Amino acid sequence: MADFLQQVVSGLASGGIYGSLALALVLIHRATGIINFAQGEMATFSTYIAWTLTTNHGWSYWPAFLFTLAVSFGGGVGVYQVVIRPNERGSVLRVVIVTIGLLILVNGLVQLIWSGEVRAVESPFPSGTFTVGEVAIAYQDVGTIAVSLGVVVLLWLFFQFTKIGLAMRAAAVNPAEARLVGVRVTWMLALGWGLAAVLGAVAGMLAAPSVFLDPTMMQAILIYAFAAAVLGGIDSPVGAVVGGLFLGVLLNVLSWLSQYGLFDWFTEELRLPTALAIILGVLLVRPAGIFGRQAVRKV
Amino acid sequence: MTRKLTLTLAALALVLAAGVATAGAGQEQRTSDPGVTATSILLGGTSPLSGSASAYASVARGADAYLKYANAKGGVAGRKITYKYLDDAYNPAQTVQATRQLVEQDGVFAVFNALGTEHNIAIRDYLKAQGVPQIFAASGATTFGRDVDAYPGLIGFQPSYQAEGWVYGKYLSRTGVGSRVAVLFQNDDYGKDLLAGLKRGLQRSKVKVVAAQPYEVTASDVQSQVAKLKSSGADVFAVFATPKFAIQAYVFANKLGWKPRLTINNAVSSASNIMLLASEGGTNKVVNGSVSVVFLKDPTDPKWKNDPTMKLYRQVMKKYAPGANVNDVYHVYGMAVAWTTVEVLKKVGKNLTRNALVAALGTMSMGRNPFLLPGIAIKTGPSDHFPIEQMLLQRWDKGAWKSFGGIWGYRAT
Amino acid sequence: MSARLRRTAVPVVAFALLAAFMLVLPAFVNDFRAQQFAYVAIYLVAITGLNVLSGYTGQISLGHGAFMAIGGYTTAILMTDYGVKDVWTIPAAALVAGAAGVLFGIPATRLSGLYLALATFAIAVATPPVIKRFEGFTGGGSGINLFGTEELTASLTPVEILGFELNFNNWLYYLCATVSLVLYVVAWLFLRGRTGRALRAVRDSETAAVSFGVSLTRYKTLAFGVSAAYAGVAGSLFAIATTFVNPDTFPISLSIFLLVGVVVAGLGSLAGLVAGAIFIQFLPLWAQEVSKSPGAPAVVYGAILIAVMFLLPYGVAGLIARLLRPRRGSTGI
């Protein structure tokens, strides 16, 4: 039993990381209607900035953390204004290709600047573990999940109660009318990209202490994050986090059961395909996900 | 429109005529093998300069740097060596295309230092048919050293993964540090070969592999696998993983409070900088006393600080691979390969042909390669294309590797 | 000359020119180049098919590398396990991949835009590990080698065709070029008629299409099936040309490159498609000429990709249309 619970806890730990990146995907989709394939690479880039500041320039953690968030915000806004906005009109195909171009470009930049070597990133949480029964739980993992949930609450407050949040929603839902009532739509969309980049940076800095930083750090996580976001409902922050946790636990439980002959088709190769099957299944059966509201299709 | 058509047809006829005229001109008589002149030798190979395995690009860069240094010292028998390496993004389909370019367009003398197991497998039949030697394939798969009869022009370099696994098995069965081994391995040829070697080394001993968990190279982490291995009740933890996952394995084992009596870490990820990361500032006790094999000089190891070869290594890196990370042991690997190549070419001398090169590769016997640890020889025979079959064991002790015991030798079968 | 005649004559002449050019090309380039152009022809097949789906029907697919993988493995398995000669595996690859496309297309018709992009992306990412999982059938990670097998034409000894002796590279080139031209004509005929109009109607406005009695499910599924069958043929040729398949030979980047090729091509022009295929084959090679530092080729590649979206929003076809007519062409992507 302790084995099983340990697998669940490990799954929650992995899932917390998926969920934190999924939050960035959800935010950008909600604020601009775009799925950003480069989100993971942008997060990796941000994490390297934090690593450089703390390791090479002797900054302490929190100033480096805040500075990284600020740079990421600027980077997100800049990316939107410079490469996304001019390609937004016309078909979605162009935006998809541009974000994929960004993915390739940013990944190359990371390798060029920081090389492929594995790096350790400081954590804001204590490094040890505590045990409940025979199950070991790391402070780092608890912290990751707590931060993700905290972000969910902040996002909810932001979108529900602040003027900018409301304007952002309006800009995303109906740009033409929003413009009429005086919302600066372009800047609202740019703001969405900036905030998503900030969340991506947070996700990167939460993930790096446990999975370690290298140029491919976010590539696997991004795919699980897609699955988490779709599962929870691509417009729902709380759905993203819950979707991530569920996915992490599900994969570990399947893997654990397969040792005992249940679901014995499940092997390690199928971890990723299972997550992707979830994307397909959810999109086809309930495109709004678990927590999303089913949109009425306009005809 | 009619005029346009007439013009088009005229142009077309012209093109066709020219085509027929030049078609026969392509053949030329060759007196010696391609890629060799009185003043030059052209070698070529593929390397993952982009994509997920780009960390291994250092192997090509290190070799290239050393060959440039060798050229500056006068080259070999009056010939300068050019090493052209092309990106394959670690995709065998691109390895095939790039290798054909090297052979058919660039006319390389030999394919050298191509990296990856499947990647070398994908091109070996083609190279055999073309009569191009495939030298020092950068992979520890057993097939490259063993299948000499099928591929006489193909030779590997590093100790095979099976040999490495076997050494761990023998070490465990002789010392009796633990009796139950749990293995984390990468689910590909490399991880499976290490595991198979370990099991072979454990044959007829009381030590048993009680659990083995694979992970995919595309995984985000190996937390779940490590937790399962812990629950197997093993007292030895063997990590057959690439650097990032090896670090994760140590860190997760520590997190779970698992205290195996001994941890084994394969040579691929046992560079000192990797171990330092895994030790989490010295707090991770799982790292202490780890055992690994070693055959190269580790650039971060303080005991080579004044070693003339490693001093040369740093100079060569600075001059011919500026900006590259000098602490990366893959550069040393590349230089060790390049050094061996230069020695073999020296031995063949003036009359350099592909046949002569292959013959020389099959009868190598070099007492020392300065980039390898003292005592490790390079030796091959007509049916033995494993240049390095010896290695040392080392133990991680107080933040540094210390080698112990004698030299372990293995003869693959 | 009447406008109607011109509408047929111009493409036919252009096609004849291209065919003639492709016929004599090997005489001007060395063997290795011929082989590179064989790959151009392979990508031409794949993006001609993908153009039916993404260009004409407006459905984004980031997953056509998966259908290429299905075609490639069909060929490799038929050749090595069943002793089928390479060229005869091509139709089989088209059928198997086409069937897979229809199977995926039926549910996928419910998705549009970014969701479809995400779903097809999932297919492309999932395919390599699934191939690896079924090791007994696919050879797992070690893959299947075709070089030197009896079933592979000309890999060891030249083949004689119509009295000409062709070595492996020229054989590959003529095989791939012929298949690509034939399939281009097929696609052209397919898109010219009623079906083509229906597909365009689906792209331009689903609501309007439905009100004209066009069945969305039927035509979207059809487009998926056709494009997947084309990808299957491309995958089959890819396996024959590469003489080796393993899961890594069909990575997610292949799917991405195919879509990029379609976008570079733009709509409705053969020249555009050829440009797209050339882009896929040669851009990575040019990118690494710029710099070999780790990561630098990717930076160049990504930057060019984004630049193309700025400079050629309607692809090469749009550029041609703009050059020929003072007004901007009405076709868009």
**How do residues B271-282 score in pLDDT, each as one tens digit?**
888 898 898 877
User: Considering only CA atoms, which of B373, B371, B323 is closest in space to residue B343?
Assistant: B371
How high is the pLDDT of residue C204?
82
Write out chain C residues lying below 8 Å of B85, CB-based: 292
Q: Chain A 245-284, CB below 8 Å of chain B: which residues?
A: 251-252, 255-256, 259, 267-269, 271-272
> Starting at the edge strand that comes first in sequence, how are the strands of the sheet with B80-87 ordered?
B80-87, B40-47, B110-112, B134-137, B154-156
Q: Do A96 and C117 touch (CB under 8 A)?
A: yes
Write out chain A residues lying below 8 Å of B324, CB-based: 115
Q: Which stretches does DSSP call E strand in B88-160?
A: 110-112, 134-137, 154-156
Minimal Cα–Cα distance from C155 to chain B, Å?
A: 8
pLDDT bin (cut points 50, 70, 90) of residue B31 is low
Contact A291, A233 (CB under 8 A): yes
How high is the pLDDT of residue B413?
58
Q: Do B221 and A211 touch (CB under 8 A)?
A: yes
- B278 burial level (CB within 10 Å; 0-12, 13-18, 19+): buried
C-alpha torsion sign, points B315, B321, B322, B326: negative
Helices (H) and strands (E) in chain A, counts: 11, 2
Rounded CA-CA distance A239/A292 in Å is: 7
Complex-level ipTM: 0.90
Whether C193 has a pLDDT exceeding 50, the answer reads yes
Whether B250 has a pLDDT exceeding 60, the answer reads yes
Query: Which of A199-203, B13-17, B139-143, B178-182 has the least mean pLDDT?
Result: B13-17
Rounded CA-CA distance B229/B213 in Å is: 7
Backbone angles phi, psi at B264, to 5 degrees: -115, 135
How high is the pLDDT of residue B358?
95
Rounded CA-CA distance A96/A98 in Å is: 5
Q: Do A284 and C111 touch (CB under 8 A)?
A: yes
Whether B22 has a pLDDT exceeding 60, the answer reads no
Mean local confidence (pLDDT), B26-35: 62
Q: Do B85 and C244 touch (CB under 8 A)?
A: no
DSSP string, A11-30: HHHHHHHHHHHHHHHHHHHH
Query: Would strands B180-186 and B154-156 be described as parallel, antiparallel, or unpaired?
Result: unpaired
Backbone angles phi, psi at B385, to 5 degrees: -105, 35
Q: Do A280 and C110 touch (CB under 8 A)?
A: no
pLDDT tens string C109-165: 888 778 898 999 999 999 999 999 998 889 988 899 999 899 998 888 888 888 788
Minimal Cα–Cα distance from B283 to chain A, Å?
A: 10
Backbone angles phi, psi at C108, to 5 degrees: -70, -15
Q: Is A281 on the interface with C (CB under 8 A)?
A: no
Write out chain B residues lying below 8 Å of A251, CB-based: 224
Tokens of B393: 């064991």
Rounded CA-CA distance B411/A266 in Å is: 37
Contact B142, C142 (CB under 8 A): no
Contact B277, A213 (CB under 8 A): no
Q: Do C259 and A108 touch (CB under 8 A)?
A: no
Rounded CA-CA distance A265/A247 in Å is: 18
Residue with tokens 């590997």: B156
pLDDT tens string C252-295: 999 999 999 998 898 767 889 999 999 999 998 888 888 877 78
Q: Is B25 on the interface with C (CB under 8 A)?
A: no
Q: Is B90 on the interface with C (CB under 8 A)?
A: yes
Query: Would strands C244-245 and C144-145 be described as parallel, antiparallel, or unpaired?
Result: antiparallel
Whether B51 has a pLDDT exceeding 80, the answer reads no
* Partner-chain residue, chosen from C58, C294, C305, that has the shortest CB–CB distance to A97: C305
Write out chain A residues lying below 8 Å of C306, CB-based: 83, 98, 101-102, 105
How high is the pLDDT of residue C17?
84
Rounded CA-CA distance B242/B215 in Å is: 11
Helical pair C3-28 and C270-290, crossing angle rounded to 10 deg: 40
Rounded CA-CA distance A167/A184 in Å is: 8
Which residue on chain A is closest to C127 by alpha carbon? A273
Mean local confidence (pLDDT), A274-286: 88
In angstroms, the Cα distances linking B8 to A255, A283, B15, C17, C20 are: 66, 52, 10, 8, 11
How high is the pLDDT of residue B27?
41
Whether C166 has a pLDDT exceeding 60, the answer reads yes
Query: Which of A46-55, A90-99, A163-172, A264-273 has the least mean pLDDT?
Result: A90-99
Whether B87 has a pLDDT exceeding 70, the answer reads yes
Q: Chain A 87-106, CB below 8 Å of chain C: which residues?
A: 87, 90-94, 96-98, 100-106
Mean local confidence (pLDDT), B59-69: 96
pLDDT bin (cut points 50, 70, 90) of residue B29 is very low
Minimal Cα–Cα distance from B96 to chain C, Å?
A: 6
Helical pair C31-50 and C3-28, crossing angle rounded to 10 deg: 150
Write out chain A residues lying below 8 Å of B57, CB-based: 116
Rounded CA-CA distance B97/B118 in Å is: 14
pLDDT tens string C1-45: 566 677 777 778 878 888 888 788 887 777 888 999 999 999 999
Residue with tokens 């930083």: A213
The overall average pLDDT reported for chain C is 88
Minimal Cα–Cα distance from B307 to chain C, Å?
A: 29
* Partner-chain residue, chosen from B23, B49, B187, that has the shortest CB–CB distance to C294: B49
Q: Do A105 and C122 touch (CB under 8 A)?
A: no
Cα B271 to chain centroid, rounded: 15
How high is the pLDDT of residue C216?
83
Minimal Cα–Cα distance from B73 to chain A, Å?
A: 30
Whether A74 has a pLDDT exceeding 90, the answer reads yes
Query: Which of A11-20, A191-200, B10-19, C103-112 has the least mean pLDDT?
Result: B10-19
pLDDT tens string B192-234: 999 999 999 999 999 999 999 999 988 889 999 999 999 999 9
Cα dihedral A279, A280, A282, A285, rounded to 10, equals 180
Rounded CA-CA distance B292/B289 in Å is: 10
More confident residue, B98 or C319: B98
